[in-house]
Structure 1
Amino acid sequence: MDKSTLFGRIDEYEPQLKRIAQDLWENPELGLHEEESAKILISALDEEGFEIETGIGGMPTAFIASYGDGEPAIGILGEYDALPGLSQDVSANREPVEPDGPGHGCGHNLFGTAGVGAAIAVADAIDAGELEGRVVFYGCPAEETLVGKTYMARAGAFDDVDAAITWHPGDLNTPRLGSTNALNSLMFTFEGVSAHAGGSPDSGRSALDGVELLNTGVEYMREHISDDARLHYAITDGGQAPNVVPAEATVWYFVRAPDREEVERNTDWLRDIAEAAAMMTQTDVTERFLTGCYDYRANNVVSDVIWENMQEVGPIDYTEDDHEFARDLRETIPEDRIESNLANVPDELYAEIRDEALYSDPVQAYDEDRQSHGSTEVGDVSWIVPTGQFRAATWPVGAPGHSWQVVAANGDFGKEGVAFAAKVLAGTTYDLLADESTLEAAHDEFETEIGTDAYETPLPADAEPPFDVTTMGN
């Protein structure tokens, strides 16, 4: 079996991949609660003879599916969680299927499905004697809350593969080389004393005052952190009524910075402010650490193999009907939002794609020196093994992720991108398994840039997966 046969296997399997993607789209599930989504993907892999291990990192919807024996081993990452409040029908008008229900506004119904298709095609190549080693599919839950891969990494899930590859739906077909911000996600709960706010405020101690003083202290802290660092918060519990002194209040913080060291330094400062706020209000404060992740470091050798395969696979074959629906969706997006989403595109490429509803030709990476202020727990994997990732054009050019327009696209023409992504993943895996020198070069780069013992989990020993936290996070 050569790569043309490999790609042909994905073409044969494409109708089933589209059905899987549609099933996931029609049954969106929030992070750490993707019971049916995980079952669907596991079933497809189990039917092909993969060895399945579930419950990774204490998460019932996290799993590992392996095929083959020995070394080398290449990991393919897959995600399948949805986002809250983004339910949407396949329509160019805002039409929720279920009011306030979840929806696949980040394309994870396509994401995990393509990885499954790629893993099955590589398994066929192993059976045919074309490849030696193993292909490992990682079922990663709760990416939107930046939980899945961090808890899987703490459990050692990625320690026995030689490289990892992944992708993400988007508006262009291009490798991703830029870095991301590392992050800590934690909550502070203040406990005070309830009292009648009008009749006897002196007998109460306001937990909400503690939260507000913490937030005020952070506003002054911002002046003295780096330009690329970020602190943002939401008060998740601030009391029930204005005439009752709140006995309990909670604030949720994200602490971001270009590397773990600065994240930890700023988190320690944040903790100091929380303690000071508790002292000033005569309340008590406790911390709940939800998750933490590393900055993403692209491996250039692996990324080059991804780019070679993207060119080999070629553009996604969208129909005129697909382009027409994409144009209809794009017309509902304000022009300033489209411009904002294309702000980092080079001028020459911008001129080429600005007026296109769909642009499916492969585009060479243009973000090598870019520091994204967002975060992803693919970063943790990239600090454990050489890692590469890419985007694939499954929604309209300039459309913002986490939007109802993207949900509509992912339930319609976005499914045409599944086979493209699967072929790039499968072809990259094939090349890394077949060419020992390329894999060695990837490891040489990894050891030089990161080091084999650099990763330490950011999770405290007593941290548990936050099953009650389902809001978006990355």
Structure 2
Amino acid sequence: MIVALLLAQAASTDAYLDQGRQRWEQVSRQIWEFAETGLQEKRSAAYLEDLLEKEGFKVQRGVGQLPTAFVATAGSGSPVVAVLAEYDALPELSQKAGESSKAPTAAGAPGHGCGHNLLGTAAVAAGVAANRARIERKLPGTIQIFGTPAEEILIGKTFMIMAGAFKDTDAVLSWHPDDNNEIDPGKRTALTATDVEFFGKTSHAAASPWLGRSALDALEVFEHSMALMREHILPTARIHRVIKNGGVVANVIPEYAKLQMWLRDANMSNVEEMIGRMRKAADGAALATETRAKVSVLASVRNPIGNEVLGRLMQKELERVGAPRWDESDVAFAKALQKELGMEQAGMDSAVAPFGRGKGSTASSDIGEVSAAAPLAELRVAARPIGTAAHHWAQTACAAHPTGGKGMLVASKVLAASLVDLLQDPASVQAAKAELAKATKGKPYASPLAADAKPTVF
């Protein structure tokens, strides 16, 4: 009897989302067309904020020094359950919708190469569906929808936490488009993003080069040192860099050079060890070239603290809803993309993986910071072909294709039903909080950023 009742209750949120499918696909497509990068998501944020206000949510705009962040709230009292929405795009990843070969909408334009138009829309749809169920069933509790900008530069959620946005939140659910369907607490890595700057002395490169001290030389020595270091880091570690400034003209010795470097690994202690070695490399390069080095931390996120209570609750709903149901045209599109990318033409994932299979990942996210402030679990749903990756034009193409829409629908159903489950089961909420307290040994959240830090685009 109880099981039948729970299934019927879940079916009501499913039915609402099925009935509104076209609406949510239009919302997703609009955000896809906005394609605004981190801290620039003005139209995307306003669009979602206005929608939520019309749905009866109280919306706080401009949270945590972030004009494009919001917190939408409905209901009152405990438990306070939340879902995370993201809506930032990536630079230079525009792509025509549903095109299986590279075809930018405009050269150099941004695009949703991580599918955040799907992510944000599914989260909002789930929150709306769960709130309707809360009202219909007269359930106690509060639903929050966090609009979290600038995930791609890993700062939005951290500044929101620092502003106290999550202080009353009991449980947080999240999701991300992927090439599979799973809930795996070990799916993210820790990361620190830095600027490495060198300061030298300018001079005429032909007439008096001996009077100059090249910041570019220092940068090159530093780069070589880091390249050699790659042999001596763990297999789980990754180092990425891009030169932001290497001088202006060849006949003037550069007095300034800047490189941006991101370091990531399975946990923050490993990242911190690499950062220490990186600082030595920068100082050594400066010493060798008689310049000065400066290393600045831009962003830092820990690997998420897994929460089995929330993860298994969402796993139950994922298994109930099932993987997206693909048709022949979806599979044909997927295989065309895979062929274009030179990979096995395996199509789309149609299975639900077992809970916590430990597949691992090299991706990072500021949800790691949220997981230290409140219990959190993250869902993955297939919204792109097997074997393809995010941060690629292929994901942009999928994010405005039926494959992305079908993944988004499944995610919204799982999130909505899970939110309602938590409202109906305060004991699970308390168990999730106890699990986090045990993992953190009761220590309060400590931000990796300075208390006076300001959000900046980098």
TM-score range, shorter chain: over 0.9
Q: Distance in 1 between matches of 2:184 and 2:44?
A: 26
User: Which residue of 163, 170, 183 maps to 2:171?
Assistant: 163
Match of 1:407 in 2: 396
Q: Does 1:59 align with 2:49?
A: no
Contact 1:299 1:387 in 2 (8 A): yes
Alignment-mate amino acid for residue 377 of structure 2: G
Unaligned 5+ segments in structure 2 are 1-7
Match of 2:438 in 1: 448
Match of 1:349 in 2: none
User: Which residue of 313, 329, 332 maps to 1:321?
Assistant: 329
Contact 1:150 1:291 in 2 (8 A): no
Q: Does 1:141 align with 2:149?
A: yes
Q: Distance in 2 between matches of 1:237 and 1:148?
A: 26
Contact 1:289 1:463 in 2 (8 A): no
| More displaced 10-residue stretch of structure 1: 175-184 or 212-221 | 212-221
Deviation per residue, 1:96-151 (Å, 9 max, x gap): 11111111111111000000001001111222244211111111111111121122
Unaligned 5+ segments in structure 1 are 339-354, 470-474
Match of 1:269 in 2: 277
Using the TM superposition, give the Cα deviation of residue 225 of structure 1 relative to its aligned residue in structure 2, in angstroms.
4.3
Q: Distance in 1 between matches of 2:171 and 2:222?
A: 42
Q: Distance in 2 between matches of 1:147 and 1:114?
A: 22
Match of 1:251 in 2: 259
Q: Does 1:375 align with 2:375?
A: no
Q: Does 1:432 align with 2:422?
A: yes
TM-score of the two chains, using structure 2 as the length reference:
0.92
Match of 1:365 in 2: 355
SS at match of 1:6: helix
Using the TM superposition, give the Cα deviation of residue 19 of structure 1 relative to its aligned residue in structure 2, in angstroms.
0.5
User: Which residue of 428, 436, 448 maps to 1:458?
Assistant: 448
Deviation per residue, 1:374-410 (Å, 9 max, x gap): 3211111111211111111111122222222221111
| More displaced 10-residue stretch of structure 1: 274-283 or 152-161 | 274-283
Using the TM superposition, give the Cα deviation of residue 64 of structure 1 relative to its aligned residue in structure 2, in angstroms.
0.9
Q: Distance in 2 between matches of 1:47 and 1:356?
A: 42
Alignment-mate amino acid for residue 127 of structure 2: A
Q: Distance in 2 between matches of 1:363 and 1:221?
A: 36
Q: CA RMSD in A?
A: 2.0
TM-score of the two chains, using structure 1 as the length reference:
0.89
* Structure 2 CA distance for partners of 1:325 and 1:258, relative to 1, 3 Å: closer
Match of 1:342 in 2: none
* Structure 2 CA distance for partners of 1:315 and 1:183, relative to 1, 3 Å: closer
* Structure 2 CA distance for partners of 1:371 and 1:94, relative to 1, 3 Å: closer
Q: Distance in 2 between matches of 1:173 and 1:258?
A: 22
Q: Does 1:88 align with 2:95?
A: yes
| More displaced 10-residue stretch of structure 1: 103-112 or 395-404 | 395-404
Q: Distance in 1 between matches of 2:456 and 2:333?
A: 38
User: Which residue of 9, 12, 15 maps to 1:5?
Assistant: 12
Task: Give aligned-pair identity as a percent.
Answer: 36
State the 4+ residue runs in structure 1 displaced beyond 6 angstroms.
none
SS at match of 1:252: strand
Alignment-mate amino acid for residue 59 of structure 1: L
Q: Distance in 2 between matches of 1:332 and 1:72?
A: 48
Q: Distance in 2 between matches of 1:56 and 1:466?
A: 15
Alignment-mate amino acid for residue 149 of structure 1: K
Match of 1:177 in 2: 185
Using the TM superposition, give the Cα deviation of residue 450 of structure 1 relative to its aligned residue in structure 2, in angstroms.
2.5
Using the TM superposition, give the Cα deviation of residue 22 of structure 1 relative to its aligned residue in structure 2, in angstroms.
0.7
Alignment-mate amino acid for residue 325 of structure 1: F
Deviation per residue, 1:172-220 (Å, 9 max, x gap): 2211222432111110221211111122111111111222232233345
Contact 1:143 1:377 in 2 (8 A): yes
